[in-house]
Amino acid sequence: MSRADATDAANGSIWSHRFVWVTLGATALVFLAAIESLAVTTVMPVISAQLHGEALYAAAFSGTLATSVIGMVAAGVLSDRTSPLVPLTAAVVLFVAGLLIAGLAPTMFVLVIGRLLQGFGVGGQIVTLYVVVARVYPPPLHGRLFAVFAASWVVPSFVGPFAAGLVTQYIGWRWVFLGVAVLTAAAYVAVITPLRGLDLHAGDEDAAAARATRAAPRIWCAVGVAAGALGLTLAGETRAIAGWLPVLLGAAGLLVIVLVSPPLLPRGTLRARRGLPSVVLMRAIIAGALFGSEVYIPYLLIGGYGFDPAWAGLALTASAITWWAASEVQGRIGERLGSTRIAVYGCLGLALATAAATATALWHLPPAVLIVGWGFAGAGMGLMYPRLTVLTLRYSTPQNQGFNSSALSIFDAVGSASATAVMGIVFTALPTAAGFPVVFAMALALALFAFVPGMRLDAP
């Protein structure tokens, strides 16, 4: 670490004059990607109705998830072989192009094409921003920056849906896409301007070693994982269809992912080897536990307790607030707590939340138990998510920063999609009264299983 880096690290400032524009621009890119995701979820019913595209409704979401996996791998390959600014530029261009196509789409089919391009862009941006952090900021600042990134994903949950509704009502849904496109271009300029004068390439030996690794097999494996994730998503979408079709689709998707994902992951990930493999595995497990079950929280409050939709989101708001607060704590004292303690506290929070949800659904406890309890899920995730990203960079070299960052993001997405699909199939197969406690119990089991890799985060 240079003397200047050491000074900035000691001052604890990601907002110093050396980093401020990179921090602002990178945070804005993360924030806009999150805003766009939540906004599209809010306005898609209006879009599909106006464009008569109900048949392509699910494809507008599942296609984006699938192409994001390919974008993650491609960006990781390029980042390891050259400067991360090359894949970052390509990712932003694809994201903005997808937004423009979607915003100007005359038909639902064209809008889905735009959403596919957005997936390539979002996946690429996530990975390249991680590599930028690794090559620009000194390690002591990584946790603080990832805490800001976490907040950039959480804050849109407060304002994104409401803002998207206002834009759709008073201006038109097309500006949900076009407005984000303009702001993304401005955020990219803020990031790229201070970075253009820096040498962000990997060292000659690292770059040569990365180029010696064949990229084509990894790209094809990414396509296979994308296809498996798409199959899982379709299984979740077809869960209302009677018969074995959803189960077969889900089983086929899971099998494809298991078979083709190992080349995209650190060796030993599926066996929870100590160090980086356990970091990547834990990220997938906790993502599946939270995001797979969270969609049933408002459902239970509305169907079981008669809440209005606005009030039913109260539990999710509480979780978002505690997520942000815990991310700030991790960013400030994460090194003092240590990875093992963070894993224990985080898994306990997630387990308490899912246990409270299970008990509430099973014994019809007061809704306050569910709302307050779900806040522990946000706190646990806020501790663990940024820390796992910090550890991924810590266990990486310039030769494999792109590979490891893409592995973390890919398995995160796969864990969420897999758990959501499987829980959806199980929920539909059971009577509603039994479906809620079983789904939350499945999430509780995942939260407890996360202790296994959580105790193995430290490198050997």
List pLDDT tens digits, range 104-126: 999 999 998 999 999 999 999 99
| DSSP 8-state code for residue 202 | P
Residue 36 neighbours by CB under 8 Å, 6+ apart: 99, 118, 176, 177, 180
Shared domain for 372 and 297, answered yes or no, is: yes
- Amino acid (1-letter code) at residue 243: G
Task: Report the 3 state secondary structure along 350-412.
Answer: HHHHHHHHHHHHHHCCCHHHHHHHHHHHHHHHHHHHHHHHHHHHHCCCCCCHHHHHHHHHHHH
Domain that holds residue 436: 268-460
Amino acid 146: pLDDT = 85
Q: How far is 272 from 270, CA to CA, in rounded Å?
A: 6
Specify the CATH number for the domain of residue 412.
1.20.1250.20
Give residue-wise pLDDT tens across range 199-224. Answer: 777 655 555 455 545 667 888 888 88
Segment 64-80 mean pLDDT: 86
Query: So what's the pLDDT on residue 380?
Result: 96
Classify residue 258: in a domain, yes or no. Answer: no
**pLDDT at position 98:** 96
Task: Please tell me the total count of domains within the chain.
Answer: 2
Q: Which of 213, 243, 278 is the last residue of a domain?
A: 213
Asked if residue 393 and residue 315 are part of one domain, the reply reads: yes
Are 196 and 339 in a shared domain? no
